[in-house]
Amino acid sequence: MTRGRYAPSPTGDLHLGNLRTAVLAWLFAHSDPDGELLYRIEDLDASRVRPGLADRQRADLESLGLTFDPPTVVQSDRFTAYDEALRRLTDRTFPCFCTRREIAEAASAPHATAGRYPGTCRSLTATEQAVRGRDRTPAIRLRAESAPVTVTDLLHGEVTAVPDDIVLRRNDGVAAYNLAVVVDDAGSGVDQVVRGDDLLESAVNQSYLADLLGFPAPTYAHVPLALNADGRRLAKRDGAVTLADLAVRGVDPGDVLTMIAVSLELAVPGESVTLADLRQRFDPAALPHRPWIVSPGS
């Protein structure tokens, strides 16, 4: 049985790209007749969480016909599970006192690898750690090995990279994204992760972390993003891109589902469809690999 998940952060209304990914997660999961799709609320970044957003996001998804299977996981209820996972990794971690600016400056230096932690705090002595800790609370990073890791993605094939020294706990004491999603997926029995292809590079880090914790890595499907006319990731500033915005223009959820289906080459413009229709037509191998360009008038 396939068990997928859709996991939005309640920091803003879902836009067309978010909704499209949710539809794809549902279709991938239900390609298996016994498949399930779970719902997770990723609310660890408390400073950005907006009251009422989680309920509104869920309502928007359900208005498209999306259904979710129990249990619903709320990350802010799972600090104990994250702390336990971190304790199991104690021998593989180190404190990191770097600010984001310091990391960015080090990563831009000659011979640095773009996008990767530059290793600044990796080899600090206990004395050096104590000195730096006088005025900074450290984050906790994973001390990753240098051997390449390969993951297989249903759309991108084999992806091989050396895992990075990712943050496991932020300097505010809260579990970091990579640790939380790995622990949550394993704890919920999730074996299929469908999400935007901007997160493809993180699959290697998360698969590696899952292995260290003794968890099976899920199957991945990183799907094309929705972009604006300038080729940038779709955002609220791009106009009528949320269900509420579109409703003002007389576009109902059924119309939105059709828009999404057309973008996936599962329907023709103006055709009325349901998720059951799309499930019958869905073939992962035929999914377009190009981004969905959403016009300002959408």
| Distance, CA of 298 to CA of 286 (rounded, Å) | 25
pLDDT mean across residues, the chain:
94
Domain layout of the chain by residue ranges? 3-77+224-293, 82-178
Residue 60 has pLDDT above 80, yes or no: yes
**Mean pLDDT, residues 224-251:** 90
pLDDT by residue (tens digit) across 61-75?
A: 999 999 999 999 999
Report helix angle 16-29 to 253-263, nearest 10: 70
**Mean pLDDT, residues 6-27:** 97
pTM value > 0.85 = yes
Q: Kindly report the number of other CB atoms within 10 A of residue 152's CB atom.
A: 13
| Distance, CA of 39 to CA of 69 (rounded, Å) | 7
Beta bridge partners of 150: 160
pLDDT by residue (tens digit) across 265-289?
A: 999 999 999 999 999 999 999 999 9
Dihedrals φ, ψ of 103, to 5°? -65, -45
| Distance, CA of 21 to CA of 260 (rounded, Å) | 9
Q: Does domain 82-178 have CATH number 1.10.238.10?
A: no
Query: Residue type at 264?
Result: L
Confidence of residue 104 (pLDDT cuts 50, 70, 90): confident
Residue 116 has pLDDT above 50, yes or no: yes
Q: Kindly report the number of other CB atoms within 10 A of residue 155's CB atom.
A: 17
Residue 18 has pLDDT above 90, yes or no: yes
At 76 the pLDDT is: 97
At 249 the pLDDT is: 93
| Distance, CA of 251 to CA of 271 (rounded, Å) | 14
Residue 172 has pLDDT above 70, yes or no: yes
Confidence of residue 298 (pLDDT cuts 50, 70, 90): very low
**Mean pLDDT, residues 80-107:** 94
The residue ranges of DSSP E strands in the chain, in sequence order, are 3-6, 36-41, 69-74, 93-96, 139-142, 149-153, 157-161, 167-169, 192-196, 219-223, 226-227, 292-293
Report helix angle 177-188 to 79-88, nearest 10: 100
Q: Does domain 3-77+224-293 have CATH number 3.30.70.380?
A: no
Confidence of residue 112 (pLDDT cuts 50, 70, 90): low
Q: Output 112 or 53, whichever has higher pLDDT.
A: 53
